Every structure is written in C-alpha cells, then in structure tokens.
Amino acid sequence: MLAGFRFIEAPRRLRAFVRAHEASLILLAAVIGTIGGLVVAAMGAAVLKLHEWLFAIPAGEHLSSQDKVDSLRAILVPSIGGLLLGGAFLLLLRWRPAREVDPIEANALHGGRMSFRGSIIVALQTVWSSGVGASVGLEAGYTQLASGLGASIGRGFHLRRADQRIMVGCGAAAAIAGAFGAPLAGAFYAFELVIGGYTSASLTPVGVSAVIGYLIAHNFLPMSLGVAVGPFGVVFSHDLAIAALLGLFAALTGIGIMCGVALCEAALTSIKIGPPVRLAVGGLCVGLLALVTPQVMSSGHGALFYSGLVTMTVGMTATAFLLKSLASIISLGSGFRGGLFFATLFLGALGGRLFAAGFDFAWPGLDLNPNIYAVIGMSALSASVIGGPLTMSFIALESTGNLWLTSAVLIAVIISTQITRELFGYSFATWRMHLRGETIRSAADVGWIRDLTVRSMMRPETVTVDSTMPMGEFREKFPLGSKSQVIAVDTEGRYAGLALVAEAYTPEASEITNLDSILHYKDVVLHPAMNIQQAIAVFDAAEAEMLAVVEADGEKRAVGVLSEAHAMRRYAEESERRRREVVGEV
C-alpha cells in the first residue's frame, strides 16, 4: 500500500549532504512548492476543460458560476460520468486492492510515507469527479498528489522520519496556497492539519513551499479567492459578539453535513448495489438538483464569484444552501472522489447571509451587513468541517485584507471548532478514518507507537514447565535467584499461567503440592501485535509487573515475557527521541 512506486534514490553523497544540513530541506521544499503549484494549475485547467467539453460552457468559465446549464447535459453527464468512474473503480480494485493513504493518515501513522502511484490515481479520480459535475472539491486531489510527490522526494533522499513528515506538509501547503491564493492559509493548513503542529524546524520549509506554490499556480492559472459581496463597511463591536453565535450555528451545520455523508454512504451500501450503479445514482441526483440551480455542481469555487450571489433573495439563498448541501452529501456518499473545502466555503457564505437576514428579522434595529457575515460564515463552517481555525482565519484575512473582519472571523472559528470537538470530536478527514476503524483525530505522529510492539520489546522465553509439576521438583529445577518467573503450560503446550520463583520459597508455599496453585495471570496475557499503549493498559488493569506474551492464534503458545518497567522505559526513550526530532535537535 505504501510502496506502490519505485522511487528514485538520490546519489549517496547528496543524500548525506541533505541529511547533514538542515538548510538543504529548504531547497527540497522549494522544489516541492514548484511541483505543488504546477499540480494545482494542471488539475484546475483539466477540470475547466472538462466542463467546457461536457457541459458546453464558455472556455475558462466555472460550471458553478453559470446562470443555467443544458438540462439534458446536467442529467446525463454526472450519471454517465459516475457509471464510468464506478467501472474504473472495479478495475482498479483488482489491480490495487489496498486503500490509498492520504496526507493526514500518512503523517499520523506511516511516518510520511505515501504511494506515488496511488496519489496519481486519487488525483485523476478527483479531476474526473469534479469534471463531470459531482459536488466535490479539488483540494483533496491537489493535496494528495502534491504531498505524494513530496513524500517520494523525501524517500529518495532517505530523510529522517520528522523531515519526511515535513516534506508531506510542504506538498499540502503548496497545493492549498496555490488553490486559494493564500500562502499563509496554505502554510497553516500544513501545520494544523497535515503535520499536526508548528515548530521552528518546519517553519521555513513549509513557508517557502507555500509561497512558491502560490506564485507558480497563479502564474499558470490565475485565480483568486474571495466572495463577490461588494464593500464590507465597518465592523462594529456587536458584530464580534454576534459572530460567536454564528460560530455555534456553523458547528451544528458542519456536524450535520459530516453525519449526512456517512448516513448516505451507509444507506447506499445497505441496498447492495455495485459502485458503478451507486455512482450513477449519485450523479443522477446531483444532475436533478442542478436543474434548479447550477451552483450545486462541481466544487463551488466559481459560485463564490457568481455575480448574482449578492442580489439573491433570501428564498433563493436558502434554496441554494439546501440543494448544495444535499448535492455534496450525495456526491461523497455515493463514492465520488473529492473534498468539502470548496463546498463549505460556498455553503458558509450562503449560510452567513441567511444568518444575517434571520437576525435582522428578529432584531431589526441592528441592520447587519450580509457581506460581513458571508465571510464569517464561510470561515466558520469550513473550520467545523475541515478543521484548522487559523487556516480559515488567514483565508479570510488574505481574501479581504480587513483586520477587524478577521477578528470577528477568528471568534467564530474558535467557537465553531471547539463546539465541533466537544459534540463530534472529528474533522471530516478524521471522521472518515474513524468510520474505517482508525482512532486518530489529527496528523500528530502516533505511527511510532504502533511500530513499538510487544514483539519488539519482549524477551523471548523458551523455558517452560508443566503446570501440574510438584512443588518440590520445581524448587530443585529453579533454585532461588536462578530466575524471577517461569511460564507454565498445560499438557498440550498451551499457556497456563506465570509462576514466580520467589513465591515457591515462601513459608505458605511449603504446604502446596502442585505448581498450579501459585500460578498468576492465567487469563491475562499480552499478544505480540499489541502496541505499547495497549500493553501498558493491560499492565495497569492487571496491576502486574510482568506478563507472558502469547500468540493470538488460538493455540495460546507462549513466546516470551515482558516487564512493565521495560515497556515504560522503551516508551519514554521513544517519546524523547520523537520530541528531539520534531524540534530539530537530532
């Protein structure tokens, strides 16, 4: 799953130079930033060209910014496109049965190792999904391919684990900076969502990659992020307080969208239809929604610039908000590839306008500026679904240049993020991992914990005794001080318990005839595949200082022993080692 592509190794001397000089990472980051910018430009141009061909719209225009789309094309293109994507999925499943790893999971569990070939597949699926009109964002494909290329470059130079994770973050930073025209947002997207934290060692590489990615993308495919809402006017003190309330509504809406995707996916899976039919049904539903308003199609990036957005009535805004939400839920739930970043920005802008209109109806004297609340809602909803409160705040700052408005945005995204964490606990990316059985909630590096297994820490134990051995024979075979504990097995060689040698020499043991009477932890064992956290939890629950390690194959064959003291020492050593790597001390 992680190999996938036979990466090209750099010459040995060059590898040694890069590993020895921290500044050399900046040069690699610049290369990754260039690649990330080109990825954004190429994928963006490909989707625009697909929209032009498939929907017969003017060259260079966005599908979601159209006043109307040909009805027949609106229905047929997503349906047939979904059918083709589903057929391709079945072919790929035979060729590559493993699931592809995204940047967050790669950095959290695999030390920044990603499949290059798998990243290309995901990027192509994302381009096709958005190109046929499915309501998904391209940012998932941008970050997947750019980060996958960054990971391959890092592996080619045999970088340390911490540096390898930074290279993945550099790819994501370049992609987001180029896609949204926001270098600061791109850098903090990498820090908050892909690397899992900010350090002085990661600041320069990620920052350089983000800036270069922005410059390259906008040189080849000029675009800018913003909402066509006109002048903002003055941000009053009451706007700061009301922004907190909007953050609450944004969090609840974001949780609803994320749960909606999961419910849609579960519902379509339960009726047991294959991927081609499921995707065709999803595409048909999106096409039918597009007959009401084309703004539901594709990522919604163009809809942010839709000239009619400012003049839309409250009813039209509510309709667009509801239908775009449904289209995004159906698209992702049915299996189209993509993300929710672009979609939530558009939905948040619509939701902010609806919130301002509703607040004015309840409290007419305030006369809230809908343009201001469109930006606040845009950032708050994205913060709930995507995560990264600082990322969303910088998007608002870089797209508006208004510091007071950014202050209101910051309040809203803090409230939105905190409520989402308290009530739901996941972003959209980690929620999808949770549904697959993973427990991670961020990109913080926990992969080393899974690599630190009981098998790697245990002391192999080949000496065993029969659990029915007489005590006298046991004392003869194991004099006091010869061993601290011995594994006892039954007549079939299965683990029966742990005998403490010192206990066999206590006065109480003089009246015991068989070893079985002094065996401990008969039903409490460790398994070789357990990681350090699981092992420590077993030690704590059993209040044990030493446990046997038993194969989990049903035969209960003992293979070693592990002490709590040794496990804790190894955990502390690895924790310190990772800390030193993160802050650049090694």
Q: What is the pLDDT of residues 38-49, one digit of tens each?
A: 999 999 999 999
**Residue 176, SS3?**
helix
Task: Average the pLDDT over 563-568 and give the result.
Answer: 90
pTM listed for this prediction: 0.84
pLDDT score recorded for residue 199: 82
pLDDT score recorded for residue 2: 41
pLDDT score recorded for residue 462: 74
Q: What is the pLDDT of residues 395-420, one digit of tens each?
A: 988 888 888 899 999 999 999 999 99
Q: Are 384 and 253 in contact (CB under 8 A)?
A: yes
Q: What is the pLDDT of residues 71-120, one digit of tens each?
A: 999 999 999 999 999 888 767 666 665 667 889 988 888 889 998 888 99
Give the residues across from 531 on adjacent strands: 453
Radius of gyration of the CA atoms of the chain, in A:
29
What integer best gives the mean pLDDT of the chain? 87
Reply yes or no on whether the pLDDT at 3 is more than 50: no
Domain boundaries, the chain: 12-223, 237-435, 449-580
* 211/217 Cα distance (integer angstroms): 10
For the ranges 18-27, 278-287, 302-311, 568-577, the one whose mean pLDDT is highest: 278-287
Q: What are phi and psi of 556, to 5 degrees?
A: 55, 45
* In the block, residue with structure tokens 């903090």: 188
Q: Per-residue confidence at 1, pLDDT binned at 50, 70, 90?
A: very low
Q: Are 532 and 457 in contact (CB under 8 A)?
A: yes
pLDDT score recorded for residue 309: 61
- Please tell me the CATH code under which domain 12-223 is placed: 1.10.3080.10
Reply yes or no on whether the pLDDT at 36 is more than 90: yes
Q: Terminus-to-terminus CA distance in the chain, angstroms?
A: 29
pLDDT score recorded for residue 10: 83
Q: What is the pLDDT of residues 274-330, one digit of tens each?
A: 889 999 999 999 999 999 999 899 887 666 665 456 667 899 999 999 999 999 999
Higher pLDDT, 43 or 440: 43
Reply yes or no on whether the pLDDT at 229 is more than 60: no
Q: Are 173 and 205 in contact (CB under 8 A)?
A: no
Q: What is the pLDDT of residues 52-64, one digit of tens each?
A: 999 999 887 888 8
Give the residues across from 460 on adjacent strands: 560
Same fold yes or no, 12-223 and 449-580: no
Nearest Cα neighbor of 346 from 189, 137, 181 is: 137
CB neighbour burial string for 481-491, b if at least 16 within 10 angstroms, e if fewer? eeeebbbbbee
pLDDT score recorded for residue 307: 47
Q: What are phi and psi of 514, to 5 degrees?
A: -115, 150
**Residue 278, SS3?**
helix
pLDDT score recorded for residue 308: 54
In one-letter notation, the amino acid at residue 157 is F
* 460/520 Cα distance (integer angstroms): 19
pLDDT score recorded for residue 5: 43
pLDDT score recorded for residue 302: 64
Q: What is the pLDDT of residues 508-549, one digit of tens each?
A: 777 788 888 889 998 899 999 998 888 999 999 888 889 999
Q: What is the pLDDT of residues 445-495, one digit of tens each?
A: 667 777 889 999 999 877 888 988 888 888 888 888 888 889 999 888 899
pLDDT score recorded for residue 378: 92
pLDDT score recorded for residue 63: 86
Query: 449-580 has which fold?
Result: CBS-domain (3.10.580)
Going by their DSSP bridges, the two strands 495-500 and 546-550 should be labelled as: unpaired
3.40.640.10, 1.10.490.10, 3.50.50.60, 1.10.3080.10: CATH of 237-435 = 1.10.3080.10
Residues 6+ apart with CB under 8 A from 174: 32, 33, 34, 35, 36, 37, 39, 40, 146, 186, 209, 210, 212, 213, 214, 216
Reply yes or no on whether the pLDDT at 231 is more than 80: no
